Amino acid sequence: MAKRVSKNGARGPGSPGQSAEHRALDEVDLQIIGALERDARLSVRALAEQLHLSRAATYARLQRLLDDGVIEGFSARVVPHLAGLQTTAYIALQIEQNTWRSVSAALAELDYIDSISLLGSDFDVLVLAHAPDNQALRTLVLERIQAIPGIIGTRTWLSFEEIRGAGAPWER
Protein backbone atom coordinates (compact mmCIF):
# COMPACT_ATOMS: atom_id res chain seq x y z
CA MET A 1 0.00 0.00 0.00
CA ALA A 2 1.06 3.60 -0.29
CA LYS A 3 3.26 5.07 2.38
CA ARG A 4 1.61 7.56 4.68
CA VAL A 5 3.05 11.01 4.29
CA SER A 6 2.05 14.05 6.29
CA LYS A 7 0.76 16.97 4.23
CA ASN A 8 2.66 19.41 6.41
CA GLY A 9 5.77 17.39 7.26
CA ALA A 10 4.60 16.67 10.82
CA ARG A 11 6.91 14.42 12.76
CA GLY A 12 5.82 11.14 14.30
CA PRO A 13 6.10 10.14 17.95
CA GLY A 14 9.63 9.89 19.29
CA SER A 15 11.09 12.16 16.65
CA PRO A 16 13.13 15.28 17.33
CA GLY A 17 10.94 18.28 17.97
CA GLN A 18 8.17 16.36 19.72
CA SER A 19 7.43 17.58 23.23
CA ALA A 20 9.20 15.52 25.85
CA GLU A 21 6.05 15.33 27.93
CA HIS A 22 3.04 13.47 26.53
CA ARG A 23 -0.12 15.53 26.81
CA ALA A 24 -3.31 13.73 27.75
CA LEU A 25 -6.04 13.90 25.13
CA ASP A 26 -9.37 15.32 26.22
CA GLU A 27 -12.83 14.57 24.84
CA VAL A 28 -12.60 17.33 22.21
CA ASP A 29 -9.24 15.97 20.97
CA LEU A 30 -10.81 12.51 20.66
CA GLN A 31 -13.77 13.98 18.77
CA ILE A 32 -11.39 15.69 16.33
CA ILE A 33 -9.44 12.47 15.80
CA GLY A 34 -12.66 10.50 15.31
CA ALA A 35 -14.08 12.95 12.80
CA LEU A 36 -10.85 12.89 10.79
CA GLU A 37 -10.66 9.09 10.93
CA ARG A 38 -14.14 8.98 9.40
CA ASP A 39 -13.36 11.66 6.80
CA ALA A 40 -9.80 12.99 6.49
CA ARG A 41 -11.04 15.44 3.83
CA LEU A 42 -12.96 17.55 6.35
CA SER A 43 -12.02 21.21 6.22
CA VAL A 44 -11.25 23.04 9.47
CA ARG A 45 -14.48 24.96 8.96
CA ALA A 46 -16.59 21.79 8.60
CA LEU A 47 -14.80 20.17 11.52
CA ALA A 48 -15.44 23.24 13.69
CA GLU A 49 -19.13 23.25 12.76
CA GLN A 50 -19.46 19.53 13.46
CA LEU A 51 -17.86 19.89 16.91
CA HIS A 52 -19.52 23.24 17.75
CA LEU A 53 -16.16 25.00 18.17
CA SER A 54 -14.76 28.18 16.67
CA ARG A 55 -12.53 27.77 13.62
CA ALA A 56 -9.61 29.28 15.53
CA ALA A 57 -9.99 26.83 18.43
CA THR A 58 -10.39 23.90 16.05
CA TYR A 59 -7.32 24.94 14.04
CA ALA A 60 -5.23 25.37 17.21
CA ARG A 61 -6.22 21.94 18.54
CA LEU A 62 -5.60 20.28 15.18
CA GLN A 63 -2.19 21.94 14.91
CA ARG A 64 -1.29 20.76 18.43
CA LEU A 65 -2.30 17.18 17.54
CA LEU A 66 -0.07 17.40 14.46
CA ASP A 67 2.85 19.03 16.31
CA ASP A 68 2.67 16.43 19.10
CA GLY A 69 2.71 13.58 16.55
CA VAL A 70 -0.72 12.29 17.59
CA ILE A 71 -1.84 12.78 13.99
CA GLU A 72 0.94 11.90 11.55
CA GLY A 73 -0.88 12.90 8.39
CA PHE A 74 -3.99 12.43 6.32
CA SER A 75 -4.72 9.52 4.00
CA ALA A 76 -7.41 7.57 2.23
CA ARG A 77 -8.41 4.12 3.49
CA VAL A 78 -8.18 1.92 0.41
CA VAL A 79 -9.95 -1.43 0.01
CA PRO A 80 -7.05 -3.53 -1.34
CA HIS A 81 -8.96 -5.96 -3.57
CA LEU A 82 -10.92 -3.12 -5.20
CA ALA A 83 -7.60 -1.38 -5.92
CA GLY A 84 -6.23 -4.41 -7.77
CA LEU A 85 -4.38 -5.95 -4.82
CA GLN A 86 -6.02 -9.38 -4.86
CA THR A 87 -3.54 -11.34 -2.71
CA THR A 88 -3.22 -10.69 1.01
CA ALA A 89 -0.62 -12.37 3.19
CA TYR A 90 0.91 -12.22 6.62
CA ILE A 91 4.65 -12.80 6.51
CA ALA A 92 6.43 -13.72 9.74
CA LEU A 93 10.16 -13.04 9.88
CA GLN A 94 12.98 -14.25 12.05
CA ILE A 95 15.74 -11.67 12.21
CA GLU A 96 19.22 -11.47 13.67
CA GLN A 97 19.47 -9.85 17.07
CA ASN A 98 19.77 -6.04 17.00
CA THR A 99 18.72 -5.68 13.32
CA TRP A 100 15.16 -4.45 13.91
CA ARG A 101 15.86 -0.85 12.88
CA SER A 102 17.66 -1.67 9.64
CA VAL A 103 15.28 -4.51 8.73
CA SER A 104 12.14 -2.45 9.40
CA ALA A 105 13.55 0.51 7.44
CA ALA A 106 14.30 -1.77 4.46
CA LEU A 107 10.85 -3.40 4.67
CA ALA A 108 9.14 0.02 4.76
CA GLU A 109 10.68 0.82 1.35
CA LEU A 110 9.18 -2.24 -0.37
CA ASP A 111 6.03 -2.12 -2.50
CA TYR A 112 2.92 -3.94 -1.25
CA ILE A 113 3.89 -3.79 2.46
CA ASP A 114 0.98 -2.41 4.50
CA SER A 115 2.24 -2.78 8.08
CA ILE A 116 5.31 -3.99 9.96
CA SER A 117 5.14 -5.08 13.61
CA LEU A 118 7.88 -6.06 16.06
CA LEU A 119 6.69 -9.11 18.00
CA GLY A 120 7.45 -10.85 21.26
CA SER A 121 7.03 -14.43 20.01
CA ASP A 122 8.75 -17.24 18.11
CA PHE A 123 8.89 -14.84 15.16
CA ASP A 124 10.39 -11.38 15.51
CA VAL A 125 8.45 -9.42 12.89
CA LEU A 126 5.00 -9.68 11.31
CA VAL A 127 4.36 -8.02 7.96
CA LEU A 128 0.97 -7.51 6.31
CA ALA A 129 1.21 -7.38 2.53
CA HIS A 130 -1.32 -6.75 -0.22
CA ALA A 131 -0.07 -7.73 -3.69
CA PRO A 132 -1.74 -7.88 -7.10
CA ASP A 133 -1.32 -11.65 -7.42
CA ASN A 134 0.55 -14.71 -6.14
CA GLN A 135 3.50 -14.10 -8.48
CA ALA A 136 4.03 -10.59 -7.12
CA LEU A 137 3.77 -11.97 -3.57
CA ARG A 138 6.30 -14.69 -4.42
CA THR A 139 8.73 -12.08 -5.77
CA LEU A 140 8.18 -9.89 -2.71
CA VAL A 141 8.94 -12.70 -0.24
CA LEU A 142 11.56 -14.78 -2.02
CA GLU A 143 13.50 -12.07 -3.84
CA ARG A 144 12.96 -8.80 -2.00
CA ILE A 145 12.32 -9.63 1.68
CA GLN A 146 14.69 -12.59 1.95
CA ALA A 147 17.47 -10.47 0.38
CA ILE A 148 17.38 -7.95 3.25
CA PRO A 149 20.47 -8.29 5.47
CA GLY A 150 19.54 -9.53 8.95
CA ILE A 151 16.58 -11.69 7.90
CA ILE A 152 17.13 -15.32 8.88
CA GLY A 153 13.87 -16.85 7.66
CA THR A 154 10.26 -16.24 6.67
CA ARG A 155 6.91 -17.97 6.92
CA THR A 156 3.95 -16.79 4.85
CA TRP A 157 0.22 -17.24 5.45
CA LEU A 158 -2.33 -16.32 2.79
CA SER A 159 -5.43 -14.50 3.99
CA PHE A 160 -8.69 -15.37 2.23
CA GLU A 161 -10.76 -12.56 3.72
CA GLU A 162 -10.21 -9.44 5.82
CA ILE A 163 -12.75 -7.84 8.13
CA ARG A 164 -12.07 -4.47 9.69
CA GLY A 165 -12.90 -4.30 13.39
CA ALA A 166 -14.49 -1.41 15.25
CA GLY A 167 -11.06 0.09 15.91
CA ALA A 168 -10.30 2.73 18.49
CA PRO A 169 -13.16 4.44 20.35
CA TRP A 170 -12.78 7.64 18.31
CA GLU A 171 -13.37 5.71 15.07
CA ARG A 172 -16.99 5.02 16.01
Domains of the chain (ranges plus CATH)? 27-67 (1.10.10.10), 80-159 (3.30.70.920)
Packing angle, helices 44-51 and 55-67, rounded to 10: 110
pLDDT at 169: 72
Instruction: Please give the helix or strand (H or E) that residue 7 lies within, else none.
Output: none
The tens-digit pLDDT sequence of the chain (172 residues) is 333 333 333 333 344 344 446 778 999 999 999 999 888 999 999 999 999 999 999 999 999 999 999 999 888 777 888 888 999 999 999 999 999 999 999 999 999 999 999 999 999 999 999 999 999 999 999 999 999 999 999 999 999 998 887 777 766 5
Packing angle, helices 55-67 and 27-38, rounded to 10: 80
C-alpha 99 chain-centroid distance:
21
